[in-house]
Amino acid sequence: MDFSTYQTIVFSREGRVLTITLNRPDKLNATDALMHEELARVFTEAARDPESDVIIFTGAGRAFCAGGDIRWMQDMIEDQSKFEKTGREAKQIVFSILDCEKPIIAKVNGHATGLGCTMALLCDVIFVSDAAKLGDPHVSVGFVAGDGGAVIWPQLIGYARAKELLMTGDLITAERAASIGLVNHALPAAELDEAVAAFARRLTQGAIKAISWTKVSVNIGLKQLAHSIMDASIAYEAMSNQTAEHKEAVAAFLEKRKPNFTGA
C-alpha cells in the first residue's frame, strides 16, 4: 500500500507490523482540517494494506494528540458549512477504526485529549505512558463531546464515571485511567516502546486470522452502538458549533484568557 500522499501522518514497518504516527509535533499533533481529512481514510487504507497484520497507532514528539486545533475551530465558526464536512469525517474516523479487522494497538506516548483520546480508546489494546494525561475536554471549548466520546467512554468505565468526566472535561492521569479500566496498561515512558513492540510481535506470531476475527466479533456490538449514537451526537456538536459559548471559548483560548460563560 502506498501511503506517500499523506502530509500529516507518517508510516513505518517492522515485519508485519505497520506503525501509523500522527506528525504535527510542533502542534502537539492537534488535528487541523488536513489531518482530520487524512484520519478519515487512513484506517480504511491500512485495513487493505497487504504487508501488515497488526497496526500500532501513536504520535510524534511529546504528545499523542491534543484534539482539535483551535484555529481550525475558529475557521468553522466563521464558515459554518465547513462543519458539515467535519461531521462526515468524524463518523468515518470512528467507523473505520471499528471496522478495521487488523488489531490496532494505541501507543499513547503523551497527552491524549478530545478526538485524540477518543481515537486511542477506540483502539483494541491501549498502552499509555505514565507521563500522559487523558480526557475529553470538548465542554471546555463549548463543544458537545460528539465525535465518539459519547460512544466509547461509557462502555469502558460505566455511565456514572463517563458522564462526570465528559461533563467536566477533566483530564486524568494514566495511572487512574488504567485503574478504572479506561486503558489497558500505564507504564513508565522508558518502557512504552518495548512493551508495545513486544505485544505487537506476540500478535503477529499468533493465529492472526483467529485473533483478527475475534476482534471483529467483539466489535459487532460496539459498532451497532456507534451507529445508534453518532448521527445524533454529531448533530448536537454541530449545534454547539453555533453557540455563543463555543465562540467565547475559542476566542478566549486565542486571546490567552479565561472564558466567560454566561449560559447562552
| Residue 62 near residue 36 (C-beta atoms within 8 A) | no
What cell numbers appear for 68 in the block? 482539535
State the average pLDDT over residues 231-258: 95
Residue 264 lies in a domain: no
What is the domain extent for residue 31?
A: 9-190
Integer Cα distance of 72 and 32 in angstroms: 6
Does residue 122 form part of some domain? yes
Listed range (120-129, 240-249, 254-263) with the worst mean pLDDT: 254-263
Q: Is residue 240 part of a domain?
A: no
**pLDDT above 80 (res 47):** yes
Q: Answer whether residue 55 shows pLDDT above 60.
A: yes
pLDDT for the residue 264: 57
Q: Is residue 29 domain-resident?
A: yes
CATH number (domain holding residue 92): 3.90.226.10
Q: What is the pTM of this model?
A: 0.97
The pLDDT-based confidence of 262 (bands split at 50, 70, 90) is confident
Average pLDDT of the chain, as a whole number: 97
pLDDT of residue 84: 93
Does 1 fall in a domain? Answer: no
pLDDT digits (tens, 9 = 90+) for 200-214: 999 999 999 999 999
Q: What is the largest CA-CA distance in the chain?
A: 56
249 found inside a domain: no
The rounded distance, in Å, linking the Cα atoms of 201 and 227 is 32
Q: Provide the number of structural domains found in the chain.
A: 1
Structural domain includes residue 126: yes
Q: Assign 151 a pLDDT band (cuts: 50, 70, 90).
A: very high
Q: Which of 117, 115, 98, 214 is nearest to 157 (CA)?
A: 117
Residue 21 — φ and ψ, nearest 5°?
-120, 120
Q: Does position 40 have pLDDT exceeding 80, yes or no?
A: yes
Does residue 15 lie within any of the structural domains?
A: yes
